[in-house]
Amino acid sequence: MDGVHDMGGKAEHFGPLPTIDPQEPVFHAEWEGKAFALALLANRVSGANLHAFRHAIERVPEPEYLSGYYERWLASAEILLVDSGILAPGAVAARAENLRGGRVEEPAVPEPHKPTMPSGGGGNLRTVEESPAFAVGDAVTTRTSVPSTHDRLPSYARGRTGTVTAVQPAQVLPDTAAHFVGENPQHVYAVEFAAHELWGEDAEPFTLTLDLYESYLEKA
Amino acid sequence: MTEVEATVDPTISPALRAEALESLLLERGLIDTKTIETFIRTYETAVGPMNGAKVVAKAWTDPEYKQHLLADGTAAIAALGFKGPQGEHMVVLENTPDVHHVVVCTLCSCYPWPVLGLPPSWYKDPAYRARVVKEPRAVLAEWGTELDPGVEVRVMDSSSEVRYLVLPERPAGTESMSEEELAALVTRDSMVGVTKVLAP
């Protein structure tokens, strides 16, 4: 899906790089560590999964998304908790107001409705019975369609042709798992693209590799 | 899809927001303080780039291990005790005088947690995510990593659950150093491929 999260090659982000600080702390403030832990726990408490979590981050409004990494983790934790009926919309804001001395009425705790999706086990690696459709050396072209739902094909690589360089372990399909409609495991391929295929003849010479799910690809 | 609230109250700081969220979940017994503390301490102290540095130093000093690492990254890394979330399937890429790999995640900030810990700010920065897939040589040069025109540059955009660790080149003049001394030289950034490891 299109959105601010899909940053590869986007001109509006072509600013100077930040300085690398080798001594950078893991968390810059106490709240960042808390946000990290709370987001992981919110994912668990709301019955979500890694893909739903990533999709929740993608649904964070753009200004908030760009305000910072753990800021968007906090926002996505709330989205997952509200989606699953663990928290009422506005519950966090009301509690925040009261914690700083305000007196606002907090919304009632809703009826939970956690998603239920059968899981083929822990993690995201799966076994797929069918043989892989592509082999190392095959030329493949990525799809051009743009889903309005979660996917893992960056926009800069839509409708581009590359070469399969590895068959990776089969994995849960993020496109459906993120929306709790099934794991639909698929074969995954490392696909290498020439820079000029992605960016035109004037591109710097390099290759770029993406790991792509079988349904994103067709034989070139 | 649920409609997302368009804005949050800008006067609510992230710290206050985190505290509010925590108190709502704590009071209903959905989470507990000890687990929160464990998550934070684990990634502050036990899981970080010092793990990846051990992997690299071992590969530099033990040819058999290096061979194993490049053939089956997940198993070779697990053999040193490093595994867990965001490290389900590890692929290790060797940087040489002729080939330079650099890793990014343009869609979010996927990063190999068991060997590198949580990602640093620069890895999550929009400028890095946007630029490195289009002008990797310019990005590396801006951070002081000048590559000869003949060097083949390979950019890896982490779009599935495969996670990449770069095995940087061992710097010249370190022949007499022990594995432990070598590990101390290996930087986080060299294991993502944006810098090289420098001789002491």
pLDDT at B4: 46
pLDDT at B10: 79
Q: Which residues of B are documented as binding site for Fe(3+)?
A: 105, 108-110
pLDDT at A143: 98
pLDDT at B6: 41
Spatial distance between the Cα atoms of B46 and A158, rounded to a whole number of angstroms:
39
Domain that holds residue A163: 139-219
pLDDT tens for each residue of B52-61 = 999 999 999 9
**What average pLDDT score do residues A94-100 get?**
97
Number of domains in chain A: 2
Q: Is the pLDDT of residue A213 over 80?
A: yes
Which residue, among A160, A21, A140, A199, has the nearest Cα to B137 in the 3D structure? Answer: A199
B137 touches chain A (CB under 8 A): yes
Spatial distance between the Cα atoms of B106 and A211, rounded to a whole number of angstroms:
12
Residue in B40, B131, B159 closest to A212 by CB: B159
Q: Is the pLDDT of residue A15 over 60?
A: yes
Indicate if A145 and A95 belong to the same structural domain.
Answer: no
Task: Give the mutation candidate from A1, A40, A41, A72 for the B interface (greatest B CB count, under 10 A).
Answer: A41
Q: Is the pLDDT of residue A141 over 90?
A: yes
Residue A144, in any domain of the structure = yes
Instruction: Kindly state the helix (H) or strand (E) to which residue B115 belongs, with its residue range.
Output: helix B113-116
**What average pLDDT score do residues B171-188 get?**
97
Written as six digits, the tokens of A97 are 């107001």
**What is the CATH number assigned to the segment(s) B48-191?**
3.90.330.10
pLDDT at B8: 63
Residue A149, in any domain of the structure = yes
Indicate if A213 and A152 belong to the same structural domain.
Answer: yes
pLDDT at A146: 96
Q: Is the pLDDT of residue B5 over 60?
A: no
Spatial distance between the Cα atoms of B120 and A160, rounded to a whole number of angstroms:
31
B110 is catalytic: yes
Which residue, among B73, B89, B91, B196, has the nearest Cα to A125 in the 3D structure? Answer: B89
**What average pLDDT score do residues A72-77 get?**
96
Residue in A7, A100, A204 closest to B137 by CB: A204
ipTM above 0.95, yes or no: yes
- Of A45, A78, A99, the residue at which a domain comes to its end is A99
Q: Is the pLDDT of residue B196 over 80?
A: yes
B4 touches chain A (CB under 8 A): yes
Percentage above 70 pLDDT, chain B: 96
Q: Distances from the Cα of B172 to the Cαs of B53, B133, B169, B176, B200, in angstroms?
A: 17, 30, 9, 10, 10
Residue A1, in any domain of the structure = no
pLDDT-derived band at B20, boundaries 50, 70, 90? very high
Residue A125, in any domain of the structure = no
Spatial distance between the Cα atoms of B101 and B154, rounded to a whole number of angstroms:
5
pLDDT at A60: 95
Q: Is the pLDDT of residue A190 over 50?
A: yes
Q: What is the CATH number of the domain that holds A28?
A: 1.10.472.20
Percentage above 90 pLDDT, chain A: 97
What is the sign, positive or negative, of the torsion defined by CA atoms of A200, A206, A211, A214?
positive
What are the domain boundaries of chain B? 14-45, 48-191
Spatial distance between the Cα atoms of B104 and B158, rounded to a whole number of angstroms:
6
Q: Residues of B with CB below 8 A from A197's CB?
A: none
Q: What angle do CA B109, B121, A65 make, to 5 degrees?
A: 60
On the CB side of A86, CA atoms within 13 Å amount to 28
Single out the catalytic residue among B105, B159, B176, B190: B105
Helix/strand/coil percentages in chain A, nearest 5: 35, 15, 50
Q: How would you classify the pairing of strands A186-194 and A207-213? A: antiparallel
Average pLDDT along chain A? 97
